[in-house]
Amino acid sequence: MAIMLGNWYSRIKGGWKTVGAAGVGAFDYGQDWIPTEVGPINAMKLSAYFGCVRLLSETMGSMTFQIYDNSNNVVDDHDLYGLMRYMPNQYQTGDAFISAMAGNKNVFGNSMAHIKRYSTNGKAYELDFYTTDLWGVDCDAQGRPKFSLNGEHVPSQDVLHWAGFGLSGYWGLPSLVAGGEAMSMQIESNRSAARTFASGLRAGGFFKMPENRQAFTDAQLEKFNAELRKFSLPQNTSRWLPLLPGMEPVANVAYRIDPVTAELLQSRYFGIEEICRFMGVPPPLIGHTDKASSWASSIENLNQFLVDYTLLPQAIRLENQIAMKLLGRNERNRLQPKFNLDALLRGDIEKRFKTYEIGWDVGLYNSNEMRAKEKLPPREGGEVYNTGSNGRRASGGNENG
């Protein structure tokens, strides 16, 4: 069983190990079509893929990290609070650290940081981030990952491993592998369009000669070919080409497929949605709009989709890793690391204030809690909750006390 799990893990892991400048690997495309090799550099040149990675990375980096106790009170005097939020290492702030981790996770499927601990109490004092390609990963007899950094073994408990979706349960599947074919198609579509524009949108053709025309001399053909090469340059698009005596041009419209017939524009358009589908990002959030799209129509609904189905699962995975690797055994029972996603769901001011009004009526918020959500200082007496009938019902009481 252990051998079987180890082999399965190696195959899943192999998808990432072969990702890089050389290409995607991991999948056998057969002989029908050989895709363009997709590595991080090629992939990031695709505006849709770059937009998705940037959106997910910067959005995760902008979330406020907090620690809550079992009563949902914010604990801001814990060492982990300052480590994650302000200075995880000497080179990065908290937002830059999380953004870099999220970027590597969304590209390579996994992101790791080396946890430095005090020798006296084992508490973490630094989180050193290294890009995923610097880490080596193997598996033990049970199929669990073993880590090395620049060839040196790193104990699993000293690795903050943020993994994305994967079939092994330990290792995330890289988007470069999962979406390799879609991105290859998009790259080829872009190159085809670029070649069309590079030729000045001018199609080639043929030259017809009279049947009784004698063959041209080698000197005539050589001179004509030289003129033809100069004529085909984009800067000569508006110029005329002198033909040899008796030569008649014939357009190749009947022999070529125009971009519309080949559905080049549609394939490029659809390729963007394919990339967004792999990355879990609504296309309008990266500037791709389509009147026929079935995505939500309002920015609030789009943000809700992004939070519910993409950012929240990613945040929960990282929160659990932080709790497991950076909190002591006893602390895990009473402290909960959380990334605050509320800022992403802030509606317009009218909707927010309506929410506060309902929250006050049912005794959910007091004045200072609502002011804190609007980044306003507390006021004297603002800790009092509504004690009206709605407030009593919300707390399980009744109007007669």
What's the confidence (pLDDT) of residue 250? 67
Taking Cα atoms as reference points, which of 285, 279, 313, 309 lies closest to residue 298?
285
| 10 within 8 A of 145, measured Cβ to Cβ | no
> What separation in angstroms does the CA of 276 have from each of 56, 173, 182, 283, 290?
11, 16, 11, 6, 13
**Bridge partners for 136 per DSSP:** 148
**Rounded to 5°, angle at Cα 15 from 187 and 308:** 75
Predicted structure pTM score: 0.70
Taking Cα atoms as reference points, which of 92, 89, 78, 84 lies closest to residue 65?
84
**Bridge partners for 311 per DSSP:** none
Instruction: Answer yes or no: is 68 within a domain.
Output: yes
CB neighbours (10 Å) of residue 63? 21
CA distance linking residue 350 with residue 340, whole number of Å: 22
| 81 within 8 A of 75, measured Cβ to Cβ | yes
Residue pLDDT tens, the chain, 401 long: 344 334 433 433 443 443 333 333 333 434 444 455 678 888 888 888 999 999 999 999 999 999 999 888 889 899 999 999 999 999 999 999 999 999 999 999 999 999 999 999 999 999 999 999 899 888 877 777 889 998 899 999 999 999 998 887 788 888 888 887 778 777 777 776 666 655 554 556 666 666 655 666 778 778 877 877 777 666 665 566 666 667 777 665 454 545 554 455 566 677 788 889 889 999 989 888 765 555 556 777 888 889 999 999 999 999 999 999 999 988 999 999 999 887 777 666 777 888 889 999 999 999 999 988 887 888 999 999 988 755 444 444 444 43
What's the confidence (pLDDT) of residue 329? 87
What's the confidence (pLDDT) of residue 92? 95
Residues 6+ apart with CB under 8 A from 352: 346, 373, 374
Instruction: Answer yes or no: is 288 within a domain.
Output: yes
CA distance linking residue 320 with residue 332, whole number of Å: 10
What's the confidence (pLDDT) of residue 351? 79
122-141 per-position pLDDT tens digit:
999 999 999 998 998 888 77
Instruction: Answer yes or no: is 192 within a domain.
Output: no
Q: Are residues 175 and 287 in the same domain?
A: yes
Q: Are residues 33 and 178 in the same domain?
A: yes
The residue written with tokens 């990952």 in the block is 145
CB neighbours (10 Å) of residue 157? 11
Q: How many domains does the chain have?
A: 3
Instruction: Answer yes or no: is 191 within a domain.
Output: no
Q: Are residues 45 and 98 in the same domain?
A: yes
Q: Are residues 354 and 218 in the same domain?
A: no
Q: Are residues 357 and 387 in the same domain?
A: yes
Of 227, 255, 283, the residue that ends a domain is 255
Residue 374 sits in which domain range? 349-394
What's the confidence (pLDDT) of residue 229? 77
Q: What six digits make up the tokens of 10?
A: 């190696």
Q: Are residues 140 and 80 in the same domain?
A: yes
Residue type, 191: R
Q: Are residues 157 and 214 in the same domain?
A: no
Residues 6+ apart with CB under 8 A from 331: none
Q: Are residues 357 and 242 in the same domain?
A: no
Residue 162's SS3 state is strand
CB neighbours (10 Å) of residue 277? 13
Residues 6+ apart with CB under 8 A from 83: 124, 125, 126, 127, 326
Residue type, 65: F
Q: Are residues 294 and 165 in the same domain?
A: yes
Phi-psi region of 234 (alpha: psi -120 to 50; beta: other; left: phi over 0): alpha
Q: Are residues 338 and 357 in the same domain?
A: no
Q: Are residues 18 and 50 in the same domain?
A: yes
49-78 per-position pLDDT tens digit:
999 999 999 999 999 999 999 888 889 899
**172 CB burial (10 A radius; 0-12, 13-18, 19+):** buried
CB neighbours (10 Å) of residue 104? 24
Q: Are residues 20 and 42 in the same domain?
A: yes
